Each structure stands twice: as structure tokens, then as C-alpha cells.
A and B are shown apart, each in its own frame.
Chain A
């Protein structure tokens, strides 16, 4: 049932973006705890040192995704401001 909640939120956000209505979850992370039945919202900020969308990006094409390895190993340049969510917890599973 959990994926139904998140997938339906994704569908809702997709329609909002397509129609240009409401306030999409841009810069906001909505988290859902099914056992506690709680939604929370965490503000997300752009990381000025983001290797992709930061001020001096190091990722300018998809080359790092080749040769099946370093795809996700590029870290932020580090230092500077704290990044994104307070304590993002990695999640997987579709």
C-alpha cells in the first residue's frame, strides 16, 4: 500500500507541473511514515557545490555513468554550506 501513496503523489505532482497549477514539491521533500501515519516536509536547498547543478559543475555529460562504476561516486566538492535535507536517509526499493 505504501507505494500507492507515493506513486499517487508523483502522479499528482506530474499533473500539477504539466498544468502549471498549485505549488509543486520543488525544493521540498515530502516524507511519509506509514507506521506512524505521518507526513513531514523538509526544505531542500540547492547545493552551491553540487557537481551537477552547482556553480562550477564537474559533471557536464553522462561520461561518469559509463564503464559501470563511478556512476554515483562523485561527491560534492565539500566544505561550504550544509546540504539539502537535515539528515536524508537513503532509501531504495520500488
Chain B
């Protein structure tokens, strides 16, 4: 009979191993990679590497195909100290997965190296019910929902574009929504700005917007920011958010938001409309063009209604 030690030695002969720094480099490079935490669910909840999917050791062979469809995709496995996962990695190799790597020292060494970890807040029974339809979507699931709940999105403008964006993001359970707008609700807004009601006429849009979003989903932390985004407040405002959605209605603001987001390295989800036409794109610093690549100069004043 083999001893445990012999089994581990045997596994190490066929499974390449990498340390926390190697894994961090792979994660940062954005290369295709499946990171699997093979510990038990309670260990995973207490703290794990954010990108990891939890499939506990006992279910690994049964569930791996649901996470990794391409047997050539690199898979990194980890457990608490790197022993359970090296045996698990050997089992995956035997199943035909070609690039299975074990994280040396496991989660413990990763955390001790000062690399980032996340701890799962248990979802409340209300949240489990509210977001149950998201759990059915493979690309969202409970993990995606937790991520949305941890996310912070800043909406610039609570008007025509900001209204539907805010409503859907709040409904979906984006945890923190900053709502920035300096206007008050006018009766002429109401044929398109569905975040506000007739009773809100004369009130600040961020006030009526906050009330509407909280009524839709009390889970969401709505931060009303009454005022315009300006050169003096933009950097300080966007720094707290993961993502900026520009629903502004003028070129000055669009250039300002574009420049600030680029300089701060924030992704800017851009949208604009005019009469019966609209457009949308995403400006991701370092990954694609920015608003200035698209519009090097603004249109002459007078050509465009403001």
C-alpha cells in the first residue's frame, strides 16, 4: 500500500507547480486561465482568491467540465497548503486536461505573500430570492452576483440615459450607485426620464432618483451627488468607483469625463442620443480608443443643440 507521502511525491512528478507570484502574473496578464479552489465551501467562504471558482475536491471530476470546456486551457488548482490540490491536479491530468498547474503553498502562502483575497459575505435569504434568476445564468451565478453587490458604479447624469441605466443597475443588484446630476425635475423631462415622476417636479433629480432606486431595490447603496461634474470635483468623485457611465448631455462634460477617466484608468461606458439616433461604446484605457480618438474636436457651437 502507498503512503500519502508517496502519493504526493508521485503527483509532484507529473504536475508542474508555480508559486503565488507566478499565478498573480498570469491573472494580471488576462490570459485564458481557469483558477479552481478545491477546498470545501466553508473554507472558500472564509477567504479565497477573487478569480477562483470553488469546486471542492470530492466533486472535481464531476463538475470540472462545467467550468473548463477546452482541455487545452491552463488550469491552476489550489487548496489550503498545496497538498490536496496536487492530488486533485493529477486526477485532472488523468482525465485529459493538458495544462494543469498546482499552486505551491496553496491559499495560505498566497495570503501570507500579501496578495489580495476576498471573503464572501453570505447572501441573505432575501437576496437569494431576489437574484435567483441571475444564479441560473452560468456567466453570472452566485459568484457574479456577489461581484455586482461589491461593485461601485458612478452615473453621470440622471436624465434620459441615466434613468434606464440606473434602474437596471439597481434592479440587477449593483451594490453602490453614485448618482450625479445638478438639475431639478422639469415637466418636460417626464416624457423620457423614467426615473422621475410627476410628483417630483421641482425636486433635485438625485433626490427623486435615489428614492426610486431605493424603492426598486433596498439592497443598493445609492449615493446622491447633487451638482455638476466639474474639473474641480471630477478626479475626487470618480476615484471611489469601479466604473463610470456617462449619460451626460453636452460635449464639455463628455471631454472632461473622458479625460479624467483615462487619466485615472477607469472604464467609461459612453452613450449619447440626438433626435432619433443614438450611439454607445465603451472606452477602456489601454484597451481601446478614447472619446478624443473618435471626436478629435467638438462640433462648432450652434450646429448641435445643447
Contacts and interface: CB of A to CB of B under 8 A. Distances in A.
A66 B247 contact: no
Interface string A59-92: 1111011100001111110000001110011111
B60 interface: no
A4 B194 contact: yes
A20 B149 CA distance: 15
B272 A50 contact: no
Contacts of A5: 278
A92 B100 CA distance: 51
A31 B214 CA distance: 32
Interface residues of A, number: 64
Contact of B151 (A18, A22, A31): A18
Interface string B221-259: 000000000010011000000110101111110011011
A55 interface: no
From DSSP, what is the main secondary structure of chain B's interface residues? mixed
Interface stretch (B8-16, B35-43, B284-292): B284-292
A8 B167 CA distance: 9
B256 A65 contact: yes
15 contacts: A4-B192, A7-B168, A18-B153, A25-B280, A26-B281, A29-B281, A31-B279, A46-B293, A47-B293, A53-B292, A59-B259, A73-B298, A75-B297, A91-B278, A93-B249
Given A53-B262, A71-B252, 11 more contacts: A3-B163, A6-B279, A7-B165, A22-B139, A25-B282, A34-B276, A46-B293, A61-B263, A93-B273, A93-B305, A94-B159
Interface of B: 139-140, 144, 147-148, 151, 153, 157, 159-165, 168-169, 172, 174, 192-194, 231, 234-235, 242-243, 245, 247-252, 255-256, 258-260, 262-263, 267, 269-285, 287-290, 292-299, 303-306
